[in-house]
Amino acid sequence: MQTGMIGRHFLCEQDWTNEEIETLMEVAKELKMRYLLGEPVDILRNKTVFMLFFEESTRTRNAFECGITQLGGHANYLTPKGTQVGHGETPEDTIQVLSRMGEAVGVRNTLVGGHDWMAELAKYSSIPVYNMQCDIWHPTQTMADLLTIKEKFHDELRGRKFTISWTSAGNYMRPLSMAQSLVTVMPRFGMDVTLAHPKGFELQPEVLEMARANAERYGGSFNIVNDMDEACEGADIIYAKGWGPIMTVGDDEKRGVEMINENPGWCIDSRRMALGSKDAIYMHCMPADRGVEVTDEVASGPQSVIWDEAENRLHTIKALMAMTMGNTHARR
């Protein structure tokens, strides 16, 4: 159990130790149980978290907003257009002001350079900065994913085969952040991770090196295949989520969508779920493109845990805020 987390940023999972992440899991379980029993936990009474969204959100926004309310605090919803950020105000000026008024700030910015912008914000901040998803990482989602896997497999994670597979979701180029967070986090907890995608849809080289290093250090494994069936074979967790060929085409949206559509059929259906272990579960961060990324019979079927996963956004985000907000003003 790791204490002393008040004021800590959460920009990337790699910034936190396994002990710190396990502490977050334990706090989330406690808060989830109290939520089930209807016990109020107003430990962040009169505290404010700012939520700056560069794009729209369903689960992230509501998890933060409901979460801080249940902890006795308040959320301020911000957008670049609704603030001076949209007019070019610097990260330093923005966070210096917000730090005088609230106790934490979350940012969702999946545009190229989004993580750099958040890091600049954190550099000048005296309150925690949370990455609500950027162009490189999606740490609040992986915490919910990890809690869900722990629940479904009774904390027996070592040796589980975790498959993260690309899907043929071709209407726009999704960021690399979800896949990149998953391949770096899951080996840290002893899982054998398989990444599957067509050629041309590679992740960032430095992220792949981090995944390999984590697997070696913590006793998991990491490998890459270019076949969805092979990836699903024997898998305990099948996580299927599309992303763009960003490492191949950069920000060329037109060519990126063309490449996605040149690789049809990467969809999770009952046949592919049957390739997994007898207790295999299907996961997706949502929104899932039904009929393209996954069939209805899987997404709404008995092996799907996507709604449990979505609920766990609430409990893990509550744990994150409870652990890190505290009396941050006293530390300025």
CA distance 158 to 121: 36
Mean pLDDT, residues 289-305: 97
Mean pLDDT, residues 59-72: 98
Task: Report pLDDT digits (tens) over 203-214.
Answer: 999 999 999 999
CA distance 51 to 131: 10
Mean pLDDT, residues 51-64: 96
Contacts of 232 (CB under 8 A, 6+ apart): 163, 165, 238, 268, 272, 273, 275, 276
Residue pointed to by tokens 């430990």: 43
In this prediction, residue 326 has a pLDDT band, given cuts at 50, 70 and 90, of confident
In this prediction, residue 327 has a pLDDT band, given cuts at 50, 70 and 90, of low
Residue pointed to by tokens 């049957």: 274
Q: Is the pLDDT of residue 332 over 80?
A: no
pLDDT value of position 209: 98
User: How many Cα atoms are found within 13 Å in the side-chain-facing hemisphere of 26?
Assistant: 10
pLDDT value of position 171: 85
Q: Which domains are delineated in the chain?
A: 13-138+310-331 (3.40.50.1370), 154-306 (3.40.50.1370)
CB atoms within 10 A of CB 94: 22
pLDDT value of position 281: 98
pLDDT value of position 329: 56
- Inter-residue contact 43 to 72 (CB < 8 Å): yes
Beta-ladder partners of 240: 165
Global confidence as pTM: 0.96
Q: Is the pLDDT of residue 322 over 70?
A: yes
CA distance 218 to 233: 23
Task: Report pLDDT digits (tens) over 248-280.
Answer: 999 999 999 999 999 999 999 999 999 999 999
Label each residue of the chain as H, E or C: CCCCCCCCCECCHHHCCHHHHHHHHHHHHHHHHHHHHCCCCCCCCCCEEEEEECCCCCHHHHHHHHHHHHCCCEEEEECCCCCHHHHCCCHHHHHHHHHCCCCEEEEEECCCCHHHHHHHHHHCCCCCEEEEEECCCCHHHHHHHHHHHHHHCCCCCCCCEEEEECCCCCCCCCCCHHHHHHHHHHHHHCCEEEEECCCCCCCCHHHHHHHHHHHHHHCCEEEEECCHHHHHCCCCEEEECCCCCHHHHCCCHHHHHHHHHCCCCCCECHHHHHHCCCCCEEECCCCCCECCCECHHHHCCCCECHHHHHHHHHHHHHHHHHHHCCCHHHHC
Q: Is the pLDDT of residue 160 over 80?
A: yes
| Token reading at 106 | 């979350």
In this prediction, residue 331 has a pLDDT band, given cuts at 50, 70 and 90, of low
Mean pLDDT over each residue of the chain, to the nearest integer: 96
* CA quadruple 66, 69, 70, 71: dihedral, nearest 10: 130
- Inter-residue contact 275 to 163 (CB < 8 Å): no
- Inter-residue contact 220 to 190 (CB < 8 Å): yes
pLDDT value of position 1: 85
Q: Which of 202, 291, 194 is nearest to 237 (CA)?
A: 194
Q: Which of 251, 249, 260, 252 is nearest to 293 (CA)?
A: 260
Task: Report pLDDT digits (tens) over 163-207.
Answer: 999 999 978 999 999 999 999 999 999 999 999 999 999 999 999
